[in-house]
Structure 1
Amino acid sequence: MSGSGADESGTGKRPNEPLGSWFARSGLSKGELARQVNRRARQMGAHHISTDTSRVRRWLDGEQPREPIPRILSELFSERFGSVVAVEDLGLRSAHQSPSDAGVDLPWAGPQTVAMLSDFSRSDLMLARRGFLGSSLALAAGPALVEPMQRWLVPTPGGGEAPGSGRAASAARRAPRLSGPELELLESTTAMFRLWDAQCGGGLRRKAVVGQLHEVTDLLQEPLPAAVSHRLFTCAAELAELAGWMSYDVGLQPNAQKYFVLALHAAKEAGDRPLGSYILSSMSRQMIHLGRPDDALELIHLAQYGSRDCATARTQAMLYAMEARAYAGMGKPSKCKRAVRMAEDSFADAGLDGEPEPDWIRFFSEAELHAENAHSYRDLAFVAGRSPTYASLAEPVMERAVALFREDEDHQRSYALNLIGMASVHLLKREPERMARPAAQALEIARKVRSERVNTRLRKTVDIAVRDFPDVPEVAQLGELLGPRFPEPAEAV
């Protein structure tokens, strides 16, 4: 069974020229595209999808496949070209989307935020139980994404009542169902999920995080005192951000963006601007991954402006580091280097004021600072046409990040990603023998963590090495170790 559906266009089909153009530019064969579609479908839980070369030929000839094939093709081509390639850009029809599911321009109000979080998390869980984790969401980019997010800083009209309850007066007269110790347990559970993600990748506990988020939205629909409501909205925002991050890590990009947007709405209801800035930084990372550094920069500047008077030095350092990544992707070295210096200066002040820091920023360690700055220099090298100068700047900083992560058992995914970054730096310097060792080390970690992001970056780096240096024995051996079927994508549970 192909799972892609019969011809829906009737007789007299015309070749799909947009899809044909993207396909020709990709350099993929029909068989390789079919294998990638099947691999992504298994990752999503769509095990009924089993396409082949002949089916790809029929798509090129004008057959309109059913969901989730159009969205899978959109994601695959977006990743290959480093920019958003929408379903419509491929000449394909996407499934009908309701406004609440398709867009990111959502109402900034407590009850609506709770309802949307509840509906989206319930839908995610229901699809997971059926063995299919995809949806017909579309990625937003450019003004369609940035302009709605700017409303994060606009005061909510008619504020003052406990957010989410609508019945603050009656809530004050009755004891909440949620006790203080139970609320603390919810908050500590979120921190535990965050640690599991760092240790094992987003594929291991994604469904558990979504389930916990749905439980929190149920609590938010009850009458609550204002203080409890604010803490629950903070918990919902952190869980939604983590669900988005895990979705991003396993390759479910539209789902990730929707969770990030909903997380930002919840953070606004909680009145937590530093948390909102962190969520915007996660959205910025996703845009960098998708080849949209301009959008990433807009989101980071919004985060910096919104938290300029309340974020800790560590949070400010993280935002500067992400600003540097965006400038690197835009090919602006002077602004990138300035942001790198600002990140280093801010990080040097972290913890000096004695203020306690939220759990969500504790990941931004010295290792993470070096990792982000090294990747900024690495990205500058790519944008500048494989510049050896910027690659040389990246090398010692990346080496320091790798050395620090090597001693950190709680962040194995980050260790793998920076080993891959080290390998890519050696490729930029045309040192294929030296790239093989960190890539092989990353391969061993990739077998243990459940992260499609690690798998994809490793595959891309090794593919470049095999293409450019096929006669180097260390590279050839690495290609054989990777093999045509590894890494198998982890299921996003």
Structure 2
Amino acid sequence: MAEKQPNEKLTTWFARSGWSKGELARQVNRRARQIGAHHVSTDTSRVRRWLDGEQPREPIPKIMSELFSERFGSVVSIEDLGLRAAIPVSTVGGGVDLPWSGPQTVQLISDYSRSDLMLNRRGFLGTSLALTAGAALIEPMQRWLAPGPTGVPTPILTAANGGEAFTGRLSEPELELLEQTTVMFRQWDAQNGGGLRRKAVVGQLHEVTDLLQETYSEDTTKRLFRLTAELAHLAGWMSYDVGMHPSAQKYYVLALHAAKEAGDRPFGALILTDMSRQMIHLNRGEDALELIHLAQYGSRDTATPRQQSLLYAMEARAYATIGEVNRCARAIRLSEDTFTDIRDGDGEPDWLKFFSPAELNAENAHSYRDLAYHSDNAQLYASLSAPVMERAVDLFRQDEDHVRSYAFNLIGMASVHLLQKEAEEAVRYAEQAVDIATKVRSERLNSRVRKTTEAASARFRGVDAVSRLKERVVQDIPEFVSVV
């Protein structure tokens, strides 16, 4: 048996916290009682063993993540503490290393969407999944760049060989209606959160894979694969929004396979961008950076200025997550410069229209804010974030189609005011975010509201406004229990 190694990550966070071993033990016990885990009873000797490399059992890793997050006012994940993640994470081959062929892509999406529909409890599907990370994720995704044997969809599906008659009976008006329905699903998601229509999107995705069992012209086949990619991507995005991370990743990977069959490099880059966003959310900055660089390289000849600007903005987010100050600042600058190259009438696809001036300001504000968390000069980067975040809030306030994004930037503004030690202002913005969070179905938003509120409570104990905010959040936004 290998000798246990000291947990250097936990030791570093513990030293920064200023807590004694006894104080950490007391806080763990108190939080465990609050969540009903009465079997948890730890002491200073147990804390010492954790620092020496012993892995605590659930729910202690989750409790410690919450305690350190509250202490520092930013997300400190279980992995950051050198502990086992609550979401299973695989860094060896498996879940995402799938064959890059048209017929197998169709079958995999059909099977997975059917399983999702049949298992009727939200999240139950994810119990058999692990989130893939590291080389096990990045290396299979790099195959997106490899050219196919012919550069066109599989002949079996297009019936291009031998003059065989097409078996598909999908008419042009029906195909256009399917494409319009996908646009409508995107609008619903932006307005109401991923929880409201996720099953409907998965159902539509499954129906489209049934259509792909038939043969069509090359143009129709490409359009159907593009439609499949958009629906699978949307199913992934909605799964991510409701906290189903392994399921979200699975849909993203399947969407990327479908985009490759459609020959749609720009949309493939968007999928990789959102995979990067998920890794940022999970504090896996290096993986996020690899994915966004893959997206940039793969779309270097096809991306419009709007998409290039989005890619630079997400590159900045990834650099901020790992504390790369100069590279983050350069990517922010490039995102702003490239955005000025956008011209009206460029004929950009519907899926890219969301990246507006409001989104540009939002991404860059969050990059500055995250640098405040991951660098030695928190006040400088908080002051840089504040005016950019405020512009994002003002722009989203006028946009009735992106309510959830408005709420994210309200809670982002609250987090900036916390960094600037302005409790009353932080509460004012957080309360507006709570108003929206109670109306949309987004666990991602709810989680951000809860964590920001806990950070405020830890920093400003005894401040009446903060206490009122915490009481409201506990009552109106109950803790989400995910099985993935």
Please confirm whether the aligned pair reaches a TM-score higher than 0.5, indicating the same fold. yes
| 1:157 aligned partner, one-letter code | P
Q: Does 1:409 align with 2:400?
A: yes
Output one character per residue of 1:397-454: Cα deviation in whole Å (capped at 9) or x when no partner.
0000000111111111001100000000000111111111000000100000000011
Please state whether the residue corresponding to 1:177 is helix, strand or coil: coil
Whether the aligned pair in 2 keeps the contact of 1:170 and 1:223 (CA below 8 Å) is no
1:346–1:453 CA distance, 2 compared to 1 (3 A): same
Q: Does 1:105 align with 2:89?
A: no
Deviation at 1:330, TM superposition (A): 1.5
Deviation at 1:54, TM superposition (A): 5.1
Output one character per residue of 1:184-219: Cα deviation in whole Å (capped at 9) or x when no partner.
111111110011000000000000001111111111
> Which residue is equivalent to 2:340?
348
Deviation at 1:471, TM superposition (A): 2.1
> Which residue is equivalent to 1:434?
425
1:360–1:481 CA distance, 2 compared to 1 (3 A): same
Whether the aligned pair in 2 keeps the contact of 1:172 and 1:224 (CA below 8 Å) is no
1:213–1:55 CA distance, 2 compared to 1 (3 A): farther
Deviation at 1:386, TM superposition (A): 6.0
1:455–1:170 CA distance, 2 compared to 1 (3 A): farther
Q: Does 1:357 align with 2:358?
A: no
Matches within 5 A, 1:150-299: 150-160=142-152, 162=154, 165=157, 167-169=159-161, 173-174=165-166, 176-299=168-291
Output one character per residue of 1:304-340: Cα deviation in whole Å (capped at 9) or x when no partner.
1111111111111100000010111111121111111
1:201–1:164 CA distance, 2 compared to 1 (3 A): farther
Once residues 34 and 232 of structure 2 are traced to their aligned partners in structure 1, the CA distance between those partners, rounded to angstroms, is: 32
What's the C-alpha RMSD, in Å, of the aligned pairs? 3.5
Whether the aligned pair in 2 keeps the contact of 1:113 and 1:266 (CA below 8 Å) is yes
Instruction: State the TM-score, normalizing by the size of structure 2.
Output: 0.83
Please state whether the residue corresponding to 1:238 is helix, strand or coil: helix
Please state whether the residue corresponding to 1:281 is helix, strand or coil: helix
1:254–1:35 CA distance, 2 compared to 1 (3 A): farther
> Which residue is equivalent to 1:64?
none
Matches within 5 A, 1:268-417: 268-352=260-344, 354-385=345-376, 387-417=378-408
Once residues 431 and 239 of structure 2 are traced to their aligned partners in structure 1, the CA distance between those partners, rounded to angstroms, is: 26
Once residues 122 and 381 of structure 2 are traced to their aligned partners in structure 1, the CA distance between those partners, rounded to angstroms, is: 48
Please state whether the residue corresponding to 1:190 is helix, strand or coil: helix
Identity of aligned residues (%): 59
Once residues 459 and 131 of structure 1 are traced to their aligned partners in structure 2, the CA distance between those partners, rounded to angstroms, is: 21
1:332–1:179 CA distance, 2 compared to 1 (3 A): same
Which of 44, 48, 53 matches 2:37? 53
Deviation at 1:125, TM superposition (A): 0.6
Output one character per residue of 1:74-125: Cα deviation in whole Å (capped at 9) or x when no partner.
9998897655759x96499989x9x99x511111111111111111111111
Whether the aligned pair in 1 keeps the contact of 2:158 and 2:221 (CA below 8 Å) is no
> Which residue is equivalent to 1:44?
none
Which of 460, 463, 468 matches 1:469? 460
1:204–1:459 CA distance, 2 compared to 1 (3 A): same
Once residues 224 and 72 of structure 1 are traced to their aligned partners in structure 2, the CA distance between those partners, rounded to angstroms, is: 53
Please state whether the residue corresponding to 1:236 is helix, strand or coil: helix
Once residues 93 and 416 of structure 1 are traced to their aligned partners in structure 2, the CA distance between those partners, rounded to angstroms, is: 26
Once residues 94 and 336 of structure 1 are traced to their aligned partners in structure 2, the CA distance between those partners, rounded to angstroms, is: 30
Which of 439, 444, 458 matches 1:448? 439
Deviation at 1:55, TM superposition (A): 6.7
Deviation at 1:485, TM superposition (A): 6.3
| 1:122 aligned partner, one-letter code | R
Whether the aligned pair in 1 keeps the contact of 2:265 and 2:299 (CA below 8 Å) is yes
| 1:350 aligned partner, one-letter code | I
1:75–1:360 CA distance, 2 compared to 1 (3 A): farther
| 1:115 aligned partner, one-letter code | Q
Count, aligned residues: 444
Whether the aligned pair in 2 keeps the contact of 1:447 and 1:487 (CA below 8 Å) is no
Once residues 113 and 27 of structure 1 are traced to their aligned partners in structure 2, the CA distance between those partners, rounded to angstroms, is: 52
Which of 445, 448, 453 matches 1:457? 448
Gaps of 5+ in 1: 1-16, 37-51, 61-69
Whether the aligned pair in 2 keeps the contact of 1:200 and 1:449 (CA below 8 Å) is yes
Once residues 230 and 34 of structure 1 are traced to their aligned partners in structure 2, the CA distance between those partners, rounded to angstroms, is: 56
1:161–1:448 CA distance, 2 compared to 1 (3 A): closer
| 1:482 aligned partner, one-letter code | V
Output one character per residue of 1:46-74: Cα deviation in whole Å (capped at 9) or x when no partner.
xxxxxx525778xx9xxxxxxxxx99999
1:490–1:446 CA distance, 2 compared to 1 (3 A): farther
Whether the aligned pair in 2 keeps the contact of 1:146 and 1:298 (CA below 8 Å) is yes
Deviation at 1:357, TM superposition (A): 0.7
Once residues 228 and 312 of structure 1 are traced to their aligned partners in structure 2, the CA distance between those partners, rounded to angstroms, is: 24
| 1:442 aligned partner, one-letter code | A
1:194–1:163 CA distance, 2 compared to 1 (3 A): farther
| 1:384 aligned partner, one-letter code | S
Please state whether the residue corresponding to 2:446 is helix, strand or coil: helix
Whether the aligned pair in 2 keeps the contact of 1:201 and 1:246 (CA below 8 Å) is yes
| Range 125-134 or range 441-450, more displaced | 125-134
| 2:369 aligned partner, one-letter code | R
